[in-house]
Structure 1
């Protein structure tokens, strides 16, 4: 899902729709055209996307024999992934090279807190669920607050329900599915001292990721481009030994080369 631009500088997203269903030659030509036009392409893909999408992405990249296509699929819920993609679009408007921009995705995941309110956890396999919580899922009217990132948490929603959140100022994005609840607005957001709250439509992969369509998904994030830029540019850059571009961290997203351990300066989570 491509979120609306955060500001007038945010680079537009290119959505590769129906990538696994369109003719292969058409998909190949579309991606080749993007690389030819922009120089480098960072593809942000959800792990909840159909397996055929990811297989096609890898096949296209292999056939094009291109180190200018970076495939990035962090283990984030769909809404958080959409937020991260927009942050990379914000940074793409700055004087940041493609290798640093692609590497920034791993850094910025550490500043996201993402979860959902669910009516049932019986089909939730992304977060550890004990037998008691499974049993409570069968009680009519039960709802659960779940954090998937950065650390798994689960609590049955009630007067005493709490979930640990960020210890720095963030905004919150909310996406409502088929569940009626105001708990995020009235309880969680105030408890987390969020600076503002916005709404978006629910990503197509959310029901698959969370195991139910009866949910409200949420994610806290840093919206300010100047803060994002400072975070990324404060990390020491190194030259990738594989493709020669500047990167941050211990691995190049484009050619997958590993940098020496002593040159890694961002969390690798």
Structure 2
């Protein structure tokens, strides 16, 4: 069985792009399952899949994050990866789908876990907001705060990879900078009635497909308002995702022994050992 990819809420599981992509496991939070149940749930996943990779964004409730770490500590296993990836809710769901796609490839669990950081750099995630008065994820100037009091105000906000904020209808540039590679766009409507994301942003970003999805439960809290339309663009093709990951040099973790790409192990978080310093070049000249 392929490596299990896990989330803490079912609304972070986007529809599979094809019949080969597996679903994601949902690790139920403390309010839905007690500790004994969580241990049994996780143990069952490890028995069936061998390794478990869970994306843990910083906006999750603290009790949920503590539960994940507690379960891993009690089970005393190095086969659970808890990945601290900082993406908005819909961007997190998009990354989770990409990891699910990679599990059908010939990558080891360590490579899949450490690939999450690599793939997150290629995700453009933001939202159209009716107010930025309570937005604390990116810098918001006093002028934008003042404009939020207008009942008709709408703001185009990009949280990742580069923060961007602009008011729709203003003289300055409104469109967030888009990806310079082929993507599909996923969007989810909150309590904001607007077609701007599908009608204007998607054509401007030259996306190759648009998909609407239900809004994740954590989106209103992340963006500071329920009046929003959240969006995330990412690479849809498994062949491109495979080439991205396969092109990175693989190393062996000096702590747990798993394969990794990048500078840190996804399972034990140990940094890649620094290469030994190069020997100084000899300046002595050989005698004739």
Is the TM-score greater than 0.5? yes
Contact 1:118 1:143 in 2 (8 A): yes
What is the total number of aligned residue pairs between the two structures?
A: 263
Partner secondary structure for residue 185 of structure 2: strand
Q: Which residue of 2 aligns with 1:187?
A: 200
Q: Which residue of 1 aligns with 2:138?
A: 127
- Give how far 1:168 is off: 1.3
Partner secondary structure for residue 244 of structure 1: coil
Q: Which residue of 2 aligns with 1:93?
A: 104
1:53-93 CA deviation, whole Å, 9 max, x = no partner? 00100111111111110001311000000000000000001
Matched, 1:71 2:72: no
Bigger drift between 84-93 and 250-259 goes to 250-259
Partner secondary structure for residue 111 of structure 1: coil
- Give how far 1:36 is off: 1.8
Matches of 1:20 and 1:72, distance apart in 2? 22
Partner secondary structure for residue 88 of structure 1: helix
Contact 2:135 2:224 in 1 (8 A): yes
Q: Which residue of 1 aligns with 2:53?
A: 42
- Give how far 1:48 is off: 2.0
Bigger drift between 78-87 and 17-26 goes to 17-26
Q: TM-score, normalised by structure 1?
A: 0.95
The match for 1:245 among 258, 261, 267 is: 258
* Greater Cα radius of gyration, structure 1 or 2: 2
Partner secondary structure for residue 219 of structure 1: strand
Contact 1:250 1:261 in 2 (8 A): no
Q: TM-score, normalised by structure 2?
A: 0.88
1:141-200 CA deviation, whole Å, 9 max, x = no partner? 000000000010000011652221111121100111110011112211111111111111
Query: Which structure 2 segments of 5+ residues have no match?
Result: 1-11, 277-288
- Give how far 1:37 is off: 1.6
Bigger drift between 99-108 and 3-12 goes to 3-12
Q: Which residue of 2 aligns with 1:23?
A: 34
Matches of 1:162 and 1:230, distance apart in 2? 30
Bigger drift between 30-39 and 77-86 goes to 30-39
- Give how far 1:17 is off: 2.7
1:1-37 CA deviation, whole Å, 9 max, x = no partner? 1111111111221112334442111111111111122
Contact 1:20 1:52 in 2 (8 A): no
Q: CA RMSD in A?
A: 1.4
Partner secondary structure for residue 25 of structure 2: coil
Which stretches of structure 1, 4 residues or longer, exceed 4 Å deviation after superposition? none
